Amino acid sequence: MSFSEEYKNAMKTVKLDERKVEDIVKKIETRQKKHTIHFVKPVTVAAACLLCFCVTLPVSAKTKGIYRIIESISPALADTFVPLEERSISNGIAMEVEAVHVDGNQADLLVSFSDAGDTDYIHGKVDTYDSYYFKSYDVESTIGGQQVLDYDAESDKAYLRFSLQADGNFNKDKMTLSVKELLCNLTKEERDINLSGIKEPMELKQVEINGWGSGQIDEIDELPTEIPYTMEGEMEYGMAKFMVCDGLTAKDCAGNDITTTAVAMKDGVLRVQMCMGDVATTDRHVELFLVGADGTERYEDFSVTWNEKIGDSRYQFYEFYYWNNVEDMENARMYGIFHDGGDALFGDWNITFRVE
């Protein structure tokens, strides 16, 4: 018997109690009679009683305690009681929804950050450093992305744009945006990378990477054989092992700046390795450009990243690979745009709004 047949036979014996299906079917009739459907497990009866008492209370940020209690008992029930809050203050910074634009299943959100009270943190662009999280109450799934816009000196506000895409059309759906970290005052500068000290041969060492950039290829399986690696399990659970330049280590690098730790040519692949410094609480990254003899600029073909820990600090390393058109390195040059995330501030910003 084939695996497919065996698996199907095995799954046929996994059956749902028919009574559960009948319960669901009964809810259609309930809905047809315009009663609101409540799925109430016996254990949530106490929560329902608590709610009857609580609905008379004014809805404010202070009800969050009640919300947490209900959520621990019945998350689905708690979702219907989250108040709308379009401004949230934490750690002396206010996050605010400025505008919402909806187009079918896509929405754009303009959010501002500004100093609240007598603090003075915001005087440049900001970044949430991937600490944002969207929770939707009505659509099945939402994906979102963040774009750093600009800082406006007149209003003293830094602006971000969040773009959302949902499974179905937005229809005044309620949503919560949570942010836990803010990088204030982002900067960037251009620097040259010295290619005159290319080492060949270069000793390599094995590291366990925690990410890779796609560069010009879509899948790690498309890597040339000159870049050997081993995979253990799925990327998000297991680690891939790569051979990278045995250059400078974390202890040789600045904690608050980007250091070039190795430049090598091995097996026809140009490798440029850099340490981003301590990124435990901030972001530093580089956009690297190889400029050929004919003046053509290009990004790397591939890159990997890994960390080295020193105490509580996390030094992040990148190794960038170039294997196309690297024959004439004598007349090539390299430069990078070095981005620094600046100061990191931690908080608990939460705004709940309607996408309309």
Partner 1 sequence: MIQSLCTKEEIIRRNSDMVYKCAFSMLKNQMDAEDIHQEVFLKYIKKEITFECKEHEKAWFLRVTVNSCKNHWKRAWNRRVSSFSTEQEPSYEMSNPQENELLELVGRLPRKYRMVIHLFYYEELSIEEISKITGGKPSTVRTWLTRARGKLKEMAVDL
Cα angle at 136 between 66 and 82, to 5 degrees? 20
Minimum CB separation of residue 125 from partner 1 in Å reads 29
Shortest Å distance, C-beta 285 to partner 1: 24
Whichever of 71 and 85 has its CB closer to partner 1, that residue is: 71
- Give the pairing of strands 333-340 and 284-291: antiparallel
Min CB(26)–partner 1 separation in Å: 10
- Find the Cα–Cα–Cα–Cα dihedral 341, 343, 344, 346, rounded to 10°: -150
**Which residue, 180 or 333, has its beta carbon nearer to partner 1?**
180
CB of 13 to partner 1, least distance (A): 6
| C-beta closer to partner 1: residue 29 or 189 | 29
Residue 104 CB, nearest distance to partner 1 (Å)?
Answer: 15
Q: Least Å distance between CB 93 and partner 1? A: 24
- CB of 164 within 8 A of CB of 348? no
Rule CB under 8 A: which residues touch partner 1? 3-4, 6-11, 13-17, 20-21, 23-25, 27-29, 31-32, 37, 39, 71-72, 75-76, 140-141, 143, 167-168, 218-219, 221, 231, 233-234, 237
Cβ contacts of 316 within 8 Å, gap of 6 or more: 275, 276, 277, 279, 284, 305, 306, 307
Helix (H, G, I), strand (E, B) or coil at 93: strand
Tokens encoding 42: 């016996």
Give the DSSP per-residue string, 305-323.
Answer: EEEEEETTEEEEEEEEEE-
Asked if 186 and 127 count as a contact pair (C-beta separation under 8 A), the reply is yes
Q: What is the rounded (10 degree) CA torsion for 161, 235, 348, 339?
A: -50
CA-to-CA distance for 235 and 220, rounded, in angstroms? 11
Q: Decide whether 22 or 103 has the Cβ nearer to partner 1.
A: 22
Q: Count the neighbouring beta carbons within 10 Å of the beta carbon of residue 182.
A: 28
Q: Which is nearer to partner 1, 10 or 153 (CB)?
A: 10
Separation between Cα atoms, residue 24 and residue 20, nearest integer Å: 7
Q: Give SS3 for 163.
A: strand
Nearest distance, CB of residue 147 and partner 1, angstroms: 21
- Kindly state the smallest distance separating residue 210's Cβ from partner 1, in Å: 17
Instruction: Give whichever of 189 and 219 is closer to partner 1, judged by the CB atom.
Output: 219
Nearer to partner 1, 6 or 297 (CB): 6
CB of 30 to partner 1, least distance (A): 9
**DSSP 8-state code for residue 217:** -
The enclosing H or E element of 72 equals helix 64-73
The answer for residues whose C-beta is within 8 angstroms of residue 291's C-beta and 6 or more apart is 297, 332, 333, 334, 335
- Toward partner 1, which CB reaches closer, 89 or 217? 217
Nearer to partner 1 by C-beta: 24 or 61?
Answer: 24
